[in-house]
Structure 1
Amino acid sequence: MKEEKINNFSKQITENSSLPAAHSMLYAIGMKETDFKKAQVGIISNWYEGNPCNIHLNSLAKRVKNSIKKNNLIGFQITTIGISDGITMGTPGMRYSLPSRELIADSIESVVESHCYDGVIAIPGCDKNIPGVMIGLLRLNRPSIIVYGGTIASGYYNGNKLDIVSSFEALGKKNNSIITDEEYKNIIKNSCPGPGACGGMYTANTMATALEAVGMLLPYSSSSPAKSNEKKKECKQVAIYIKKLLKKNIKTKDIVTKNSVENGIKLAICLGGSTNLVLHFLAIAKAANLNITLKDFQKISNETPFIGNLKPSGIFSMEDLHVNIGGIPVIIKYLIKKKILLGDCLTVTGKTLYENVKDAQDLTFTKKIIYPIETPIKTKGHIRILYGNISPEGSVAKITGKEGTKFRGRAMVFNSEYEANKSIINNQIKPGTVIVIRYVGPVGGPGMPEMLKPTSYIMGSGLGDKVALITDGRFSGGTHGFVVGHITPEAQNGGTIAIIKNGDFIKIDSENNTITLEIKEEEIRRRRRLWSPINSFKKINKGYLYKYTKIVSSASTGCVTDEF
């Protein structure tokens, strides 16, 4: 039987007789004459050895390539970059984390467009890898699938389960004599036992589960652990599905629609996902030419119950969900049944979302990992979009309910994360304080670094329900507590957060979705007239971060770099 022609892009090179040098190079890398009419698939991983989230991705890519070859396709392994959020957290290197999302998307677009690959299988691991590859695939808009690298196994010490946030919070506990130096060291040594992304509903797992609901991952991809047999099986099967997409010419934008994106956001909110999903889905929506704004997130959150008892706000990990619940398809099936998610959206299997999950086991609630819709942890989602004189263009809060829903306190202002960390560690923060960390936005940071270190120190110091923290930076998926980020306009651009003074009263109200600096408008105008940017935060005058500050959009529109 004659093989159907599916080399719609690669034939521009392989079947073009005016490109003899190109053909010579393809022969040089091992292609045979019979290969020139086969479809070519770029197998793009974010592999590098410096991060447990990514260290195993090359081995997964090799499994995928073997599968590609067995299905009579040509596969080319390609690597793009990654930044470890956990390693760079609290250092100047963290400024490169969010900007790396754009580099990943740019590099995928560049190599696939220039080499005319017919399809793409992307294998991301860490936080910014996943939205980065998704944005790149949308720009390309050709048959594509994402294979998630998978979650890490839990660490253990003294009979307690650990993860990366255990290490961050341990420092606050040690400094407050809650644990000994020896316990502190052993927590650090045992928090991360091997490969895989951070184990709670942090940003990597948030984005992976969300994109499985969008339809860009095979069923179970987001919840099967990095070292599991299921992950190996997925790598073996993915070639079957990419070939199916090539034959049916099902492209990324056929799958990523407004309905499917809303499915992804709803699932992430149900499970208590990271606030970073707001930044990333704003950027994904732009790449997909979809009209989704901050107000849509608030509407979705108002209509979506919070049912996931998962870290950091809960107690369970993605590994627990996989072993005890049966994986993300079990939850998707339940949410379709309860009419939270739409089941008729197309996915990378060539089937609908409901068809993918209809044979999954039914959800059980005995372990209290997931709560029933009828008796949720919180009737509305934990993502709150707050407006007010501090954030007239919006800000993002992560309020699960256990912190309370309102907070009023006196401001303690810091012009960098490092100043704030020093004060927290030295026990200079008193109950009733609203910590303000500014000049850490996309331009002022630059790069909008995450504030996991200060929030972890706060939790470790026992202040989690006694103080609030607001910032024009952003938060890790590992953050919990009464926190508000993504404040826009940011301080570097003259936002109100730049003129807050120590002792000012700030009120945060997640019921009415407001954040207010309690001074008169006349005083705000007076302070604004006297304000000027802090020059020490503009030291970057060359290189990628400098370019990033010149082209990055506001956090309220997703921090994209192609919004001109």
Structure 2
Amino acid sequence: MTKPDDTNDSSSSSNDGKRFRSATIREGTIRATTRSFLHALGQDDEDIARPHVGVFHTGGEMSPCNLNLREQAQHAKTGIYAGGGTPHECPVVSISDGLTMAHSGMRFSLISRELIADSVEASTRGHQWDGIFAIGACDKNLPGLMMGMVRCNVPSVFVHGGSALPGQMPGPDGQDLNVVDTYETIGKVLAGTATHDELDAMSRACLPTAGACAGQFTANTMGMVSEALGLAPIGSSMVPAVFSERAPLMRRAAKTLMKAVMGDGPLPRDIVTRKALENACAIVSATGGSTNAALHLPAIAHEAGISFHLDDVAEIFARTPLVADLRPGGRYLARDVFYIGGAGVILRTLLEQGFLHGDALTFTGRTMAEELAGALAPDGRVVREAGHPITRDGGLAVLKGNLCPDGALLKTAGLKGLVFRGPARVFNSEEEAQAAVQNRRYEAGDVIVIRNEGPKGSPGMREMLGITALLYGQGMGDKVALLTDGRFSGATRGLCIGYAGPEAADGGPIAALRDGDMVSIDARAEARAITVDLTAEEIASRLAKREVNAGVARGGVLEKYALTVRPAHQGAVTHSGAVTWLRDES
């Protein structure tokens, strides 16, 4: 007589005696209906008996960053099948920072990071996938997918979908363009130094291919982070999105993943350790990468149950030299890094000079040092030797003081002046500041303050690239400073200080500022300070009398986010972290 839990039918075998999580949905008499769904997907008995892998990607037509990710996912699926697995394509939501910039839609950008991580968890645990292959290319895709991988803690690999190639304006003197050039040209038009026709031509030329924005902005920064963490193949992040090399790259990564699925790991939490997180911080600092990385790395650490906050990030930033001359602070683009050997070039020189932990584990099961054995040496132009860097104290800095006790972030790469003092010009929203900047209602020497844009107060922690680009287009980018409890795009340049904590909605000192208050900024390595000429008593008195910002209309995902989000210096996370998925859970 056949028992209800019988596993001897044609769809119930396990590879080499290992019982996979997916056996829960496909083995035994009581799973006959489940097998009906798998057969309806076109799977035969052999396919059903294999381990099942979720192939998560953010492909779609909401952004050129994600335009060809589904095509890339097909190559990953081929590699998974060749490696003995059965792939399941699982598209997840993505929000385009390009389409949401400088309006209310930007409130949903950072929130999408949580939606992506939650989607990976829901699909993986709901369907009992045995492994995860994740592909993302727009800013919040990358950390969201990696957070989901670490949360589920099944064998996983991440591959950045690659960057776009730069554009060029017509003519013999055409220089490489990217989308930031268009943002800044808007400011030039408003200042009367460029024409609408020039702006139109640039907007058509700056993004000629699919792929993430071409500079060392958030997507490409987090792509390098995925390699430095050990969650991605060395050399994968800088391969341009449209290059044919991406097809074999995806297949190779998938086959390596299947070895981990068939064996005993390593698992994401074996890989994402404190040493790996420090390696990731190092490559951000060494490349003058996006300040958003300092928000995402604590969030990834949180999924692994590791307390790794802004102070930890600051320590690594301070000791890691800037070696890569990349836009927006420098001259070169992701394509140029690819041509000199990829992110492995940067990791190699950091390792050789003692700025990297070579014994950190990678998804291949080998150490970081072993993975970098074949990496090329720096070319001396795009990337310098870590022993002879561009600057010795890195491309990013964390500032603290009576204005930002929990810290604030500044990208120092490319900055000519690190000391600034001026009167505050205070705005209670991005819209207020945008209108003032467009109409030049500010003066050289001002510290433009934009508050109520933090994770809780906005809610959603909007980016301020539109405003910073306008300032540069108006020729004022190096004549003012900007401070916000919101975020900055990875494409931002200038004396722009964001992520100020505590945020205004939590009663941070930024909520006490008034027009004319004198603000002092000293980003030099020996100081790293931001202060206001007010006593602690004056700040407390003002905060006690302040009008609490009513915020935007609530309901839906904005309401849920505002009720659960934690402060920026903790990664703006929304749950308690370190989820445990028991092997015997059904």
TM-score between both structures, scaled by the size of structure 1: 0.96
Aligned match of 2:57 = 45
Q: Distance in 2 between matches of 1:178 and 1:184?
A: 11
Give the counterpart letter for 1:113 in structure 2.
R
**Which residue of the other structure, out of 431, 440, 445, is the alignment partner of 2:458?**
445
The reply on whether 1:319 has 2:351 as its aligned counterpart is: no
Check whether the contact 1:326–1:361 (CA below 8 A) recurs between aligned residues.
yes
Q: Distance in 1 between matches of 2:224 and 2:251?
A: 20
Could you list the per-position Cα deviations for residues 151-191 of structure 1 after superposition, in whole angstroms to 9, with x for gaps in the alignment? 11001114021111111111011122222221111111111
Give the counterpart letter for 2:313 in structure 1.
F
The reply on whether 1:297 has 2:309 as its aligned counterpart is: no
Q: Distance in 1 between matches of 2:310 and 2:561?
A: 22
Check whether the contact 1:6–1:246 (CA below 8 A) recurs between aligned residues.
no
Check whether the contact 2:83–2:259 (CA below 8 A) recurs between aligned residues.
no
The reply on whether 1:508 has 2:524 as its aligned counterpart is: no
The reply on whether 1:129 has 2:141 as its aligned counterpart is: yes
Superposed displacement of residue 5, structure 1: 4.7
**Which residue of the other structure, out of 3, 28, 36, is the alignment partner of 2:40?**
28
Tell me the SS of whatever aligns to 1:385: strand
Which deviates the most, 166-175 or 60-69?
A: 60-69
Which deviates the most, 182-191 or 513-522?
A: 513-522
The reply on whether 1:392 has 2:405 as its aligned counterpart is: yes
- Residues paired across the two proteins, number: 558
Q: Distance in 1 between matches of 2:118 and 2:318?
A: 34
Aligned match of 1:476 = 489
Superposed displacement of residue 471, structure 1: 0.2
Q: Distance in 1 between matches of 2:307 and 2:291?
A: 19
Check whether the contact 2:161–2:211 (CA below 8 A) recurs between aligned residues.
yes
Superposed displacement of residue 206, structure 1: 0.4
Aligned match of 1:229 = 244
The reply on whether 1:259 has 2:275 as its aligned counterpart is: yes
Q: Distance in 2 between matches of 1:359 and 1:395?
A: 38
**Which residue of the other structure, out of 72, 95, 98, is the alignment partner of 2:84?**
72
Q: Distance in 2 between matches of 1:210 and 1:228?
A: 21
Q: How does 1:52-91 map to 2 (within 5 A)?
A: 52-91=64-103
Q: Distance in 2 between matches of 1:129 and 1:533?
A: 33
Q: How does 1:125-274 map to 2 (within 5 A)?
A: 125-158=137-170, 159-250=174-265, 251-274=267-290
**Which residue of the other structure, out of 464, 467, 474, is the alignment partner of 1:461?**
474
Which deviates the most, 445-454 or 9-18?
A: 9-18
Q: Distance in 2 between matches of 1:7 and 1:217?
A: 26
How high is the sequence identity, in percent, across the aligned residues? 38
Runs of 5+ unmatched residues, structure 1:
none
Tell me the SS of whatever aligns to 1:309: coil
Check whether the contact 2:419–2:521 (CA below 8 A) recurs between aligned residues.
yes
Superposed displacement of residue 14, structure 1: 1.6
Check whether the contact 2:429–2:451 (CA below 8 A) recurs between aligned residues.
yes
Tell me the SS of whatever aligns to 1:487: strand
Give the counterpart letter for 1:223 in structure 2.
M
Could you list the per-position Cα deviations for residues 474-502 of structure 1 after superposition, in whole angstroms to 9, with x for gaps in the alignment? 10000010011111111122211112111
Which deviates the most, 392-401 or 464-473?
A: 392-401
Which deviates the most, 274-283 or 331-340?
A: 331-340
Which deviates the most, 149-158 or 377-386?
A: 377-386
Could you list the per-position Cα deviations for residues 88-130 of structure 1 after superposition, in whole angstroms to 9, with x for gaps in the alignment? 1001100000010000000100011011111010011101001
Check whether the contact 1:7–1:37 (CA below 8 A) recurs between aligned residues.
no
Aligned match of 1:403 = 416
Q: Distance in 1 between matches of 2:355 and 2:141?
A: 28
Superposed displacement of residue 19, structure 1: 2.1
**Which residue of the other structure, out of 516, 533, 556, is the alignment partner of 2:548?**
533
Could you list the per-position Cα deviations for residues 278-310 of structure 1 after superposition, in whole angstroms to 9, with x for gaps in the alignment? 110010111111121211112111210011110
Q: How does 1:346-357 map to 2 (within 5 A)?
A: 346-357=361-372
The reply on whether 1:561 has 2:574 as its aligned counterpart is: yes
Q: Distance in 2 between matches of 1:529 and 1:348?
A: 51
Give the counterpart letter for 1:53 in structure 2.
C
Superposed displacement of residue 3, structure 1: 5.3
Give the counterpart letter for 1:461 in structure 2.
Q
Which deviates the most, 264-273 or 22-31?
A: 22-31
Superposed displacement of residue 540, structure 1: 2.2
Give the counterpart letter for 2:23 in structure 1.
K
Tell me the SS of whatever aligns to 1:18: helix
Superposed displacement of residue 51, structure 1: 0.3
Check whether the contact 1:94–1:450 (CA below 8 A) recurs between aligned residues.
yes
Could you list the per-position Cα deviations for residues 216-235 of structure 1 after superposition, in whole angstroms to 9, with x for gaps in the alignment? 11121111110112211111
Give the counterpart letter for 1:405 in structure 2.
L
Could you list the per-position Cα deviations for residues 121-143 of structure 1 after superposition, in whole angstroms to 9, with x for gaps in the alignment? 00111010011011111111010
Superposed displacement of residue 402, structure 1: 2.4
Give the counterpart letter for 1:191 in structure 2.
C
Q: Distance in 2 between matches of 1:267 and 1:463?
A: 30
Tell me the SS of whatever aligns to 1:478: coil
Runs of 5+ unmatched residues, structure 2:
1-13, 578-586
Check whether the contact 1:6–1:38 (CA below 8 A) recurs between aligned residues.
no
Q: How does 1:278-289 map to 2 (within 5 A)?
A: 278-289=294-305
Give the counterpart letter for 2:221 in structure 1.
T
Tell me the SS of whatever aligns to 2:71: helix
Superposed displacement of residue 401, structure 1: 5.6
Q: Distance in 1 between matches of 2:538 and 2:359?
A: 54
Tell me the SS of whatever aligns to 1:362: coil
Q: 1:41 to 1:7 in 2, by over 3 A?
A: farther
Check whether the contact 1:384–1:510 (CA below 8 A) recurs between aligned residues.
yes
Aligned match of 1:523 = 538
Check whether the contact 1:157–1:187 (CA below 8 A) recurs between aligned residues.
yes
Superposed displacement of residue 7, structure 1: 5.3
Check whether the contact 1:244–1:350 (CA below 8 A) recurs between aligned residues.
no
Q: 1:157 to 1:168 in 2, by over 3 A?
A: same
Could you list the per-position Cα deviations for residues 13-58 of structure 1 after superposition, in whole angstroms to 9, with x for gaps in the alignment? 2223322221221222122122232111111101111100011111
Tell me the SS of whatever aligns to 1:393: strand
Superposed displacement of residue 409, structure 1: 0.4
Q: Distance in 1 between matches of 2:509 and 2:428?
A: 14
CA RMSD in angstroms, aligned pairs only: 1.5
Which deviates the most, 368-377 or 438-447?
A: 368-377
TM-score between both structures, scaled by the size of structure 2: 0.93
Could you list the per-position Cα deviations for residues 60-99 of structure 1 after superposition, in whole angstroms to 9, with x for gaps in the alignment? 1112112222333201101001000011100110000001
The reply on whether 1:424 has 2:437 as its aligned counterpart is: yes
Superposed displacement of residue 258, structure 1: 0.9
Tell me the SS of whatever aligns to 2:29: coil
Q: Distance in 1 between matches of 2:226 and 2:81?
A: 27
Check whether the contact 1:403–1:464 (CA below 8 A) recurs between aligned residues.
no
Q: Distance in 1 between matches of 2:398 and 2:149?
A: 28
Check whether the contact 1:7–1:118 (CA below 8 A) recurs between aligned residues.
no
Check whether the contact 1:298–1:384 (CA below 8 A) recurs between aligned residues.
yes
Check whether the contact 2:429–2:452 (CA below 8 A) recurs between aligned residues.
yes
Q: 1:359 to 1:425 in 2, by over 3 A?
A: same
Give the counterpart letter for 2:402 in structure 1.
N
Q: Distance in 1 between matches of 2:258 and 2:280?
A: 25
Check whether the contact 1:213–1:263 (CA below 8 A) recurs between aligned residues.
yes
Check whether the contact 2:487–2:499 (CA below 8 A) recurs between aligned residues.
yes
Superposed displacement of residue 6, structure 1: 5.1
Check whether the contact 1:147–1:218 (CA below 8 A) recurs between aligned residues.
yes
